[in-house]
Amino acid sequence: MKISFDLDDTLVCRQNNIPQEPNPIPFFLKPWFREPLRAGTCQLMTTLRKQSHEICIYTSSYRSPFYIRCWFWLYGITLGEVINQTVHNQHLQNSQRRDRPSKDPRLFGIHLHIDDSEGVKQEGKKLGFRVCQISPQDDCWVTRVFEEVQGLSDRF
Protein backbone atom coordinates (compact mmCIF):
# COMPACT_ATOMS: atom_id res chain seq x y z
CA MET A 1 0.00 0.00 0.00
CA LYS A 2 1.22 3.51 -0.76
CA ILE A 3 0.94 5.74 2.33
CA SER A 4 1.71 9.45 2.50
CA PHE A 5 2.39 11.68 5.48
CA ASP A 6 1.96 15.41 5.90
CA LEU A 7 4.89 17.21 7.58
CA ASP A 8 3.82 20.33 9.49
CA ASP A 9 1.84 19.52 12.66
CA THR A 10 1.80 15.84 11.70
CA LEU A 11 5.46 14.68 11.70
CA VAL A 12 6.99 18.06 12.57
CA CYS A 13 5.39 19.38 15.77
CA ARG A 14 7.15 22.36 17.25
CA GLN A 15 4.96 22.73 20.33
CA ASN A 16 6.99 22.32 23.51
CA ASN A 17 4.99 19.49 25.03
CA ILE A 18 5.29 17.12 22.07
CA PRO A 19 8.03 14.47 22.35
CA GLN A 20 10.64 14.38 19.56
CA GLU A 21 12.79 11.60 18.13
CA PRO A 22 16.37 11.62 19.45
CA ASN A 23 18.37 13.62 16.93
CA PRO A 24 20.86 11.36 15.04
CA ILE A 25 22.18 14.12 12.78
CA PRO A 26 25.97 14.64 12.93
CA PHE A 27 26.95 18.08 14.27
CA PHE A 28 28.45 19.23 10.95
CA LEU A 29 25.09 18.69 9.17
CA LYS A 30 22.93 20.26 11.87
CA PRO A 31 22.94 23.75 10.30
CA TRP A 32 21.06 22.24 7.32
CA PHE A 33 18.73 19.89 9.19
CA ARG A 34 17.33 21.79 12.16
CA GLU A 35 13.78 20.48 12.18
CA PRO A 36 12.55 18.09 14.85
CA LEU A 37 10.80 14.83 14.00
CA ARG A 38 7.88 13.69 16.13
CA ALA A 39 8.61 10.78 18.49
CA GLY A 40 7.36 7.50 17.04
CA THR A 41 8.03 8.43 13.40
CA CYS A 42 11.04 6.12 12.99
CA GLN A 43 9.40 3.08 14.60
CA LEU A 44 6.21 3.63 12.59
CA MET A 45 7.90 4.09 9.22
CA THR A 46 10.43 1.29 9.71
CA THR A 47 7.65 -1.15 10.60
CA LEU A 48 5.45 -0.06 7.70
CA ARG A 49 8.37 -0.48 5.30
CA LYS A 50 9.03 -3.97 6.65
CA GLN A 51 5.38 -4.75 5.89
CA SER A 52 6.16 -3.71 2.27
CA HIS A 53 4.28 -0.42 2.34
CA GLU A 54 5.67 2.52 0.40
CA ILE A 55 6.19 5.59 2.59
CA CYS A 56 5.73 8.97 0.94
CA ILE A 57 5.71 12.59 2.08
CA TYR A 58 2.96 14.91 0.84
CA THR A 59 3.45 18.46 2.11
CA SER A 60 2.00 21.83 1.19
CA SER A 61 5.38 23.38 1.97
CA TYR A 62 8.12 24.22 -0.52
CA ARG A 63 10.87 22.20 1.21
CA SER A 64 12.74 20.56 -1.65
CA PRO A 65 12.20 16.82 -2.21
CA PHE A 66 16.00 16.39 -2.07
CA TYR A 67 16.17 18.04 1.36
CA ILE A 68 13.27 15.94 2.67
CA ARG A 69 14.79 12.72 1.33
CA CYS A 70 18.22 13.45 2.92
CA TRP A 71 16.64 14.51 6.21
CA PHE A 72 14.66 11.26 6.59
CA TRP A 73 17.60 9.20 5.37
CA LEU A 74 19.64 10.60 8.28
CA TYR A 75 16.98 9.11 10.55
CA GLY A 76 17.33 5.75 8.78
CA ILE A 77 14.16 6.07 6.71
CA THR A 78 14.12 5.59 2.95
CA LEU A 79 11.23 7.45 1.38
CA GLY A 80 9.30 6.58 -1.74
CA GLU A 81 7.70 9.54 -3.49
CA VAL A 82 8.12 13.06 -2.08
CA ILE A 83 5.47 15.58 -3.08
CA ASN A 84 5.82 19.23 -2.14
CA GLN A 85 3.65 22.16 -3.19
CA THR A 86 5.57 22.60 -6.46
CA VAL A 87 5.10 18.95 -7.49
CA HIS A 88 1.43 19.10 -6.42
CA ASN A 89 0.83 22.24 -8.54
CA GLN A 90 2.47 20.64 -11.59
CA HIS A 91 0.33 17.50 -11.33
CA LEU A 92 -2.83 19.50 -10.80
CA GLN A 93 -2.04 21.62 -13.84
CA ASN A 94 -1.37 18.53 -15.96
CA SER A 95 -4.66 16.96 -14.90
CA GLN A 96 -6.47 20.09 -16.17
CA ARG A 97 -9.00 20.01 -13.38
CA ARG A 98 -11.20 22.88 -12.41
CA ASP A 99 -11.23 22.23 -8.70
CA ARG A 100 -8.06 23.06 -6.80
CA PRO A 101 -7.87 20.79 -3.76
CA SER A 102 -5.01 21.57 -1.37
CA LYS A 103 -3.98 17.91 -1.63
CA ASP A 104 -5.10 15.07 -3.88
CA PRO A 105 -3.40 11.76 -3.03
CA ARG A 106 -5.27 10.03 -5.87
CA LEU A 107 -3.15 11.93 -8.40
CA PHE A 108 -0.13 10.03 -7.08
CA GLY A 109 -1.73 6.61 -6.57
CA ILE A 110 -1.67 7.01 -2.78
CA HIS A 111 -4.08 4.76 -0.87
CA LEU A 112 -3.95 6.46 2.53
CA HIS A 113 -2.86 9.95 3.59
CA ILE A 114 -2.00 10.94 7.18
CA ASP A 115 -2.63 14.62 8.04
CA ASP A 116 -3.58 16.90 10.93
CA SER A 117 -5.76 19.14 8.79
CA GLU A 118 -9.56 19.11 9.02
CA GLY A 119 -9.66 20.78 5.58
CA VAL A 120 -7.77 17.91 3.98
CA LYS A 121 -10.04 15.41 5.77
CA GLN A 122 -13.08 17.19 4.29
CA GLU A 123 -11.51 17.25 0.82
CA GLY A 124 -10.97 13.51 1.17
CA LYS A 125 -14.67 13.01 1.94
CA LYS A 126 -15.69 15.16 -1.00
CA LEU A 127 -13.26 13.81 -3.57
CA GLY A 128 -13.08 10.22 -2.37
CA PHE A 129 -9.61 9.71 -0.92
CA ARG A 130 -8.76 8.26 2.47
CA VAL A 131 -7.37 10.52 5.19
CA CYS A 132 -6.35 9.45 8.66
CA GLN A 133 -6.57 12.66 10.69
CA ILE A 134 -4.02 12.87 13.50
CA SER A 135 -3.85 15.70 16.01
CA PRO A 136 -0.43 16.95 17.18
CA GLN A 137 -1.68 16.35 20.75
CA ASP A 138 -2.51 12.67 20.15
CA ASP A 139 -0.06 10.56 22.20
CA CYS A 140 -1.37 7.36 20.63
CA TRP A 141 -0.91 8.56 17.05
CA VAL A 142 1.40 5.69 16.03
CA THR A 143 -1.16 3.10 17.15
CA ARG A 144 -3.92 4.97 15.33
CA VAL A 145 -1.96 4.92 12.07
CA PHE A 146 -1.14 1.21 12.47
CA GLU A 147 -4.82 0.42 13.08
CA GLU A 148 -5.89 2.41 10.04
CA VAL A 149 -3.29 0.68 7.83
CA GLN A 150 -4.25 -2.74 9.19
CA GLY A 151 -7.92 -2.06 8.47
CA LEU A 152 -7.12 -1.30 4.84
CA SER A 153 -4.29 -3.75 4.21
CA ASP A 154 -6.44 -6.61 2.90
CA ARG A 155 -7.96 -4.26 0.31
CA PHE A 156 -4.71 -3.36 -1.46
Binding residues vs Mg ion (CB under 5 A): 6, 8-9, 116
**Residue partners of 154: CB distance under 8 A and separation at least 6:** none
Which residue lies nearer to Mg ion by CB, 102 or 150?
A: 102
Q: How far apart are CA 65 and CA 77, in angstroms?
A: 14
The CA dihedral of 100, 102, 104, 110, to the nearest 10 degrees, is 170
Closest CA to 113 of 51, 73, 60: 60
Q: At what angle do helices 141-153 and 41-50 cross, to 10 degrees?
A: 20
Which residue lies nearer to Mg ion by CB, 6 or 79?
A: 6
Which residue lies nearer to Mg ion by CB, 116 or 148?
A: 116
Which residue lies nearer to Mg ion by CB, 10 or 79?
A: 10
Q: What's the min distance (Å) between Cβ of 118 and Mg ion?
A: 10
